[in-house]
Amino acid sequence: MSALAAVKKGIEKLIDRYGRDIYYLRMSLTERCNLKCIYCRSESEYCKAKTELTADQYSTILNGLVSLGIRKVRVTGGEPLVRKDLERIISDIASHEEIREICMTTNGIGLSERLPELKQAGLQRLNISMDTLDPDLYRKMTRGGDLAAVLKGIEMAQSLEMPVKINAVVVRGKNDQEAERLISLAKESAIDIRFIELMPMGVLGEDKNARVRNEEILRRHPELRPLPPAYPSQPSMDYTADGFKGKVGFISPVSHKFCNVCNRVRLTSDGKLRMCLANNYETDLMPHLQSGEELLQVMQAAMFNKPECHTFEEAFHTSRTMNQIGG
Ligand code: SAM
């Protein structure tokens, strides 16, 4: 049966060949970023805006993906806030009543000014990357970022009652001492903090000594108690402690794989479907944008053939840096 026929018959889920229900799209809006985080890309690397999908092209692809079972969308990048048409893209996503959740991963620079409109357009949740609460260290780790601007964005999200998770990557010898302060943020406010283990991508990721395993942070915090997962495909292990208003989560893609429950597909800003962060298997959608049925077939085949597991622990060499895939 063709993909279109399957959709017409009301088959709304895409179950891949390993039995996973693929419903979560991570949609990268650009490779461009206003920061150069030390673990994401090199200082000299210039973010060339090669092909960058237009809002209409995202809309065409998303129409197809929704009919194939996508129910949750996260916009990411690069930095999604560098797109001037972000509000339009969010409202296009929100126009699909099938989509249950719309989130954004951002560095938060320039967020406060745009958040009221983004919320009105349909944005529901935020993940804000912030690896330290020390302004000088923040500037160093991001090669020039202004921590005050990020904090302003977080405050705005709180005033608009939009749920926020803080993403932090801990790098040995750089910000390992910051984990304590970030955890205390979850104690004092209803903000969840999630530690993401440094992945072997980018210049720093190749250096195994730079990775601080999440167990190390946990060992220093015996007060943290594990919580049951809120949903089966939850990538983080969440913890709480007495008196905490927020949760502390640990995402350990390298030391604790969650591939068996991975429900994600990634769309890069140059129009490729990438089925796994740590697998260079990609499908180019650009030649198929003009034909609805052909596009559906190509996307359905790519999703069905999602690789079983990532290959981080084998000598994985990414064809793209994190900002080029969409982290
Ligand atoms: N610009 C946005 C931001 O800063 O959140 C979205 C894109 S950024 C690539 C998405 C996430 O990827 C960030 O939370 C960042 O910390 C994470 N990231 C980038 N490189 C990483 C690496 N080598 N290992 C683990 N996480 C990484």
What is the DSSP track for 297-324? Answer: HHHHHHHHT--SS--TTTT---SS-HHH
The reply to whether ligand 1 has any atom less than 6 angstroms from the CB of 145 is no
Q: Would you say the CB of residue 77 lies under 6 angstroms from ligand 1? A: yes
What per-residue confidence (pLDDT) applies to 314? Answer: 65
pTM of the model: 0.94
Residue 50 pLDDT greater than 90, yes or no: no
For the sheet with 192-196, list strands across it. Answer: 225-226, 237-240, 248-251, 192-196, 164-169, 125-129, 101-106, 72-76, 24-28, 264-267, 272-274, 282-284
> Is the CB of residue 321 below 6 angstroms from any atom belonging to ligand 1?
no
pLDDT exceeds cutoff 60 at 8: no
**d(CA 149, ligand 1 centre) in Å:** 18
Tell whether the model's pLDDT for residue 319 goes beyond 80.
no
Which of 3-7, 203-207, 276-280 is predicted most confidently?
276-280
169 Cβ below 6 A of ligand 1: yes
* Tally of CB atoms within 10 A around 231: 7
